[in-house]
Amino acid sequence: MVRKVTKRKLSKNMVPKNPWFRKGKGNSESSWGFRPINCKGWIALILLVGVNVFAAQYFNLNELVIDNWLKFVVVFLLSVAVFILIAKRKTRGLKSDI
């Protein structure tokens, strides 16, 4: 049995009402982007950088202690993951594949 694949139209609940980000010009394959288009997007991007700068200072990365570096890497990866989830949810024209 062959199933016919059709393109779904974007319904109103699939497109964010007030998007924070937009896709880049060369980013046609991906369904999200991180180019801010309003103040909330800029705040999220600045907050991401601020959290990582604070974590670098807090864990004293100037000292060559592997424990401090591992803690920083965990904070860095978690903050980037949260930012990507927010960006996917708040990108203009996001298609939901659920």
Any domain includes 22: no
d(CA 23, CA 31): 8
pTM for the structure as a whole:
0.65
Domain that holds residue 73: 32-89
Please tell me what DSSP assigns to residue 53: H
Predicted confidence (pLDDT) per residue in 35-78, tens digit: 788 888 888 889 999 999 988 888 887 787 888 888 889 999 99
User: What average pLDDT does the structure give for the chain?
Assistant: 75
Structure tokens at 43: 């705040």
Nearest C-alpha neighbor of 34 from the set 97, 98, 96, 92: 92
| 29 pLDDT above the threshold of 80 | no
66-89 helix and 39-58 helix, angle to the nearest 10 degrees: 170
Any domain includes 36: yes
pLDDT score recorded for residue 25: 65
Total number of domains in the chain = 1
